[in-house]
Amino acid sequence: MKPRPQKPNLTLQPTTLWDYPSQHYGKEQQGDQNYKGATPSYIIWNLLQRYTTKKDLIIDPMAGSGTTLDVARDLGRKVLGYDLGPTRKDIFRADARKLPLEDSKAGFVFIDPPYSTHIEYTDDPRCIGKLSAAGDEYYQAMDQVIGEIHRILKPGKHMGLYVSDSYVKGKGFYPLGFELFALMRKRFTPIDIVAVTRHNKTLDMGNYRSAAEDGNFFLRGFNYLFIMQKPDTAPPKRQRNNPSKRPDRRKPKHKPQSGQRR
Ligand SMILES: C[S@@+](CC[C@H](N)C(=O)[O-])C[C@H]1O[C@@H](n2cnc3c(N)ncnc32)[C@H](O)[C@@H]1O
């Protein structure tokens, strides 16, 4: 077994390539390291440091083992977590497509959804982890989740979505990252796209490695982290077809100064 590198201090990630050698920061655990599919906690820590204050209510619509809840509380933020299969008492059972929350309540939303069918989470038939990305059903469900995030988020506030593409042996490659980004762009403004290094055990497993070499496919080396913002204002209403209300385009209101760019 490789010796574990020492945990460095937790600092803000300066570039769009994020890396940290541990699932958890500090001496405690955030979330549960035995939960399959748990989010590395430094990712949520970085997002909350950059995009929230103590006044913001943080929401995780697919809270899993509760990593977002633990990080938010570490940083003195109020937080609510939902999941179809709650793993602890402070996570409420709810479908991420229909959250029991009023409009424009959240100051930040973090979500790490199922990457199509790569992990079996619960027996609940509404679990999005049961939907294949080969057709439309996974994307239609995620479009509803993204719509719900837009509804609960305050205008001007941010969300982070953490996801990996998917390769299913014998079936093919599914570019979940680009597809979900396109769905988010319908409602949100992109702020940045981060590549997060995966420290996945499967990368070290000999059988995965040889299967990838023999089958000429790649193991996933990074996740996307999409940072999006809900626009602050409603888009301008269309001008009515009323000539008296149309702006007069003939005379410019201000003459451009010499040398001023138009
Ligand atoms: C990748 S895990 C989240 C991991 C979590 N961030 C953590 O650190 O433990 C995805 C979660 O989505 C949940 N889920 C799947 N479909 C859902 C739905 N329709 N509504 C709410 N949660 C759902 C699963 O039960 C699972 O816990």
Beta carbons of 104 and 150 less than 8 angstroms apart? no
Q: Which ligand 1 atom is the nearest neighbour of the CA of 111?
A: 6
CATH number at residue 89: 3.40.50.150
Domain of 118, in residue numbers: 17-236
For ligand 1, the distance from its centroid to the CA atom of residue 231, given in whole angstroms, is 26
- The residue whose two tokens read 């410019």 is 252
User: Per-residue pLDDT tens for 148-169?
Assistant: 999 999 999 999 999 999 998 8
Establish if 152 belongs to a structural domain.
yes
Q: Does the beta carbon of 129 lie inside 6 Å of ligand 1?
A: yes
User: Is the pLDDT confidence value at 244 over 70?
Assistant: no
pLDDT over 90 percentage in the chain = 73
DSSP string covering 84-121: SS-SSTTEEE--TTS-S--TT-EEEEEE----TTSS--
pLDDT for res 259: 44
Comparing 192 with 245, the larger pLDDT belongs to 192
- The residue whose two tokens read 């385009």 is 249
User: Is the pLDDT confidence value at 253 over 60?
Assistant: no
Q: Are strands 172-174 and 189-197 parallel, antiparallel or unpaired?
A: unpaired
Establish if 176 belongs to a structural domain.
yes
User: Per-residue pLDDT tens for 25-60?
Assistant: 998 999 998 999 999 999 999 999 999 999 999 999
Establish if 53 belongs to a structural domain.
yes
* Spatial distance between the Cα atoms of 195 and 223, rounded to a whole number of angstroms: 6
Q: Which ligand 1 atom is the nearest neighbour of the CA of 61?
A: 21
Establish if 258 belongs to a structural domain.
no
Q: Does the beta carbon of 65 lie inside 6 Å of ligand 1?
A: yes
Specify the range with the lowest mean pLDDT, choosing from 127-131, 183-187, 236-240: 236-240
* Domain count within the chain: 1
Binning pLDDT at 50, 70 and 90, where does residue 3 land? low
Look at ligand 1, atom 27, and give the residue with the nearest C-alpha. Answer: 64
SS3 of 208, please? helix
For ligand 1, the distance from its centroid to the CA atom of residue 61, given in whole angstroms, is 8
Establish if 156 belongs to a structural domain.
yes
Closest CA to 20 of 36, 48, 40, 3: 40
